[in-house]
């Protein structure tokens, strides 16, 4: 605790002009170069309006994740200014000359169809929330607070590991607004930005609070429904005792089994189609069985 206090003092004197507490993760506005902001505060501010909180000039980028004065990351800020000619009509789009894309001629290679990733996509498509596991000595699950994340480099690196893979689920993060795959630089900068952003959120707010602040902060990037599920799953992973994604994948439970096989489009292949053979009158039983299975699994994982 003392060490943390000393470390913060080094950078101190600096108070974030947005939240008025001392700066913990510095962010600098470009091009105006103002620096008395917390990363999370500044980015949340810029989502509302892309102007500097201090000098009101247009901000085009944020420098963050400083390892040294010359080693940091850059995030391109999307302008909130209304465009002079809103490109609502298709004519505008068609007549617009295509930009030369020499650097990105070769489209960003689609991620290799990794079965674990396809399953994660399936989870989002089907809106499957992993079943709750109670925290106790046997399950070794524990409940999480922002303080735990702030003080544990271990939790932070586990969070990063999981988030890095989970963000690959959302192909829209890897495409530019025209729908063509964006170049590698943009792609990795989007994902890197979100990674840092989410870890900052974890350190600041309680992600368990449903319909909470974390959800508001993230939904702009992932959409409301995805965000809700994403935060649920992230919390489940962080609460778990697992240190490897493979172990979590093997143990996490949903109300239905995740598929084993996928087609070329990445859609799940049903290995058997029991529904076809069953008459309509059987289907309520099916639902009840699924419910029962869910309740049973929940019971098995509940605290004693
Ligand atoms: Zn702040
Ligand atoms: Zn400024």
* pLDDT tens string 43-58: 989 988 999 999 999 9
Q: Rounded CA gap, 55 and 31, in Å? A: 11
Q: Decide if 96 is inside a domain.
A: no
147-198, pLDDT tens digit by residue?
999 999 999 999 999 999 999 888 877 665 555 555 555 556 677 888 999 9
pLDDT-derived band at 286, boundaries 50, 70, 90 = very low
Q: Are residues 58 and 126 in the same domain?
A: no
106 within some domain = no
Residue pair 175/182 in contact (Cβ under 8 Å)? The answer is: yes
**Same domain as 141, residue 18:** no
| pLDDT tops 70 at residue 105 | no
Mean pLDDT to the nearest integer, 132-145? 90
Both 48 and 150 in one domain: the answer is no
Residue 292 has pLDDT above 70, yes or no: no
Residue 93 pLDDT exceeds 90: no
Q: Which ligand is nearest to the Cα of residue 27, counting in written order?
A: 1
Structure tokens at 90: 């298709």
> Ligand 1: distance of its center to the CA of 228 in Å?
24
CA distances from 184 to 101, 106, 111, 173, 174 (A): 12, 10, 12, 12, 9
CA of 75 to the centre of ligand 2 (A): 16
More confident residue, 159 or 90: 159
Q: What proportion of the chain, given as a percentage, has pLDDT over 90?
A: 40
109 vs 255, residue with greater confidence: 255
What is the pTM (predicted TM-score) of this model?
0.65
What is the whole-number distance in angstroms between the Cα of residue 17 and the centre of ligand 1? 6
Ligand 1 centroid distance, CA of 188 (Å): 26
**Residue 36 alpha carbon to ligand 2 centre in Å:** 10
Dist CA 232 CA 90 (whole Å): 39
Are 47 and 183 contained in the same domain?
no
The reply to whether 68 and 119 lie within a common domain is no
- Centre of ligand 2 to C-alpha 29, Å, is 6
Least distant ligand from the CA of 40: 1
User: Domain boundary at 21, 54, 76, which?
Assistant: 76
Please tell me the predicted confidence (pLDDT) of residue 245. 95
Could you give the CA distance from residue 80 to residue 51 in angstroms, rounded to a whole number? Answer: 9
* Ligand at shortest distance from the CA of 200: 1
Of the pLDDT bands very low, low, confident and very high (cuts 50, 70, 90), residue 277 is very low
| 52 Cα: distance to centroid of ligand 2 (angstroms) | 5
Q: Which ligand has the shortest distance to the CA of 52?
A: 2
Give SS3 for 181.
strand
pLDDT digits (tens, 9 = 90+) for 58-70: 999 999 988 888 8
**Average pLDDT, integer, range 206-234:** 87
CA distances from 71 to 67, 68, 74, 190 (A): 5, 5, 10, 18
Distance 51 CA to ligand 2 centre (A): 8
CA 64 to ligand 1 center in whole angstroms: 14
Cα 204 to averaged position of ligand 2 atoms, centre (Å): 24
pLDDT band per the 50, 70, 90 thresholds, residue 112: low
Ligand 2 mean position to 283 CA, how many Å?
62
CA angle 40, 78, 183 (to 5 degrees): 105
Same domain, 159 and 17: no
What pLDDT sits at residue 14? 86
Q: Name, of 84-93, 125-134, 173-182, 291-300, the range with top average pLDDT.
A: 125-134
194 domain-assigned: yes
Cα distance between the two ends of the chain: 34
Over residues 223-263, the pLDDT tens digits come to 999 999 999 999 999 999 999 999 999 999 999 999 988 88
Total count of domains within the chain: 2
Residues 123 and 258 in one domain: yes
**Are 165 and 252 within one domain?**
yes
pLDDT value at residue 185: 57
Range of the domain at 166: 115-300
16, 48, 76 — which closes off a domain? 76
Calculate the average pLDDT of the chain.
78
Q: Which of 14-28, 219-233, 286-300 has the lowest mean pLDDT?
A: 286-300
| Nearest-ligand number for the alpha carbon of 33 | 2
Among residues 15, 49, 76, the one where a domain terminates is 76
Does residue 31 sit in helix, strand or coil? Answer: coil
Whose tokens are 């101190």? That residue is 12
Q: Rounded to the nearest whole angstrom, what is the distance from the C-alpha of residue 238 to the centroid of ligand 1?
A: 25
Residue 220 counted as domain residue: yes
CA of 42 to the centre of ligand 2 (A): 11
The helix (H) or strand (E) run that includes residue 76 is strand 71-76
Instruction: Give percent above pLDDT 70 in the chain.
Output: 68
pLDDT at 98 over 80: no
Query: What does the alpha-carbon distance between residue 38 and residue 69 come to, in Å, rounded to a whole number?
Result: 16
């Amino acid at each position: 605790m003392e060490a943390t206090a000393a470390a913060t003092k080094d950078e101190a004197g600096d108070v974030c002009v947005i939240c008025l507490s001392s700066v913990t993760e510095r962010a600098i506005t470009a091009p105006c170069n103002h620096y008395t902001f917390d990363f999370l505060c500044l980015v949340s501010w810029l989502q509302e309006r892309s102007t500097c909180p201090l000098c009101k000039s247009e901000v085009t980028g944020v420098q963050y994740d400083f390892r040294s004065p010359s080693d940091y990351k850059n995030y391109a800020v999307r302008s909130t200014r209304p465009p002079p000619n809103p490109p609502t009509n298709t004519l505008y789009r068609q007549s617009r000359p295509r930009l030369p894309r020499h650097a990105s001629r070769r489209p960003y290679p689609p991620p290799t169809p990794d079965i674990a990733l396809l399953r994660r996509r399936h989870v989002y498509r089907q809106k499957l929330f992993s079943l709750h596991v109670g925290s106790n000595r046997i399950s070794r699950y524990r409940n999480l607070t922002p303080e735990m994340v702030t003080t544990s480099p271990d939790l932070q690196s586990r969070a990063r590991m999981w988030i890095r893979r989970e963000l690959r689920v959302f192909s829209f993060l890897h495409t530019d607004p025209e729908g063509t795959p964006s170049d590698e630089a943009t792609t990795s900068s989007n994902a890197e930005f979100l990674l840092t952003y989410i870890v900052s959120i974890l350190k600041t707010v309680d992600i368990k609070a449903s319909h909470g602040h974390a959800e508001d902060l993230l939904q702009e990037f992932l959409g409301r429904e995805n965000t809700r599920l994403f935060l649920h799953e992230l919390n489940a992973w962080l609460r778990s005792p697992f240190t490897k994604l493979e172990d979590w994948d093997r143990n996490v439970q949903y109300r239905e089994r995740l598929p084993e096989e996928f087609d070329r489009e990445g859609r799940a292949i049903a290995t058997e189609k029991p529904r076809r053979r069953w008459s309509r009158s059987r289907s309520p039983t099916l639902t009840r069985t699924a419910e029962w299975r869910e309740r049973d699994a929940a019971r098995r994982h509940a605290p004693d």
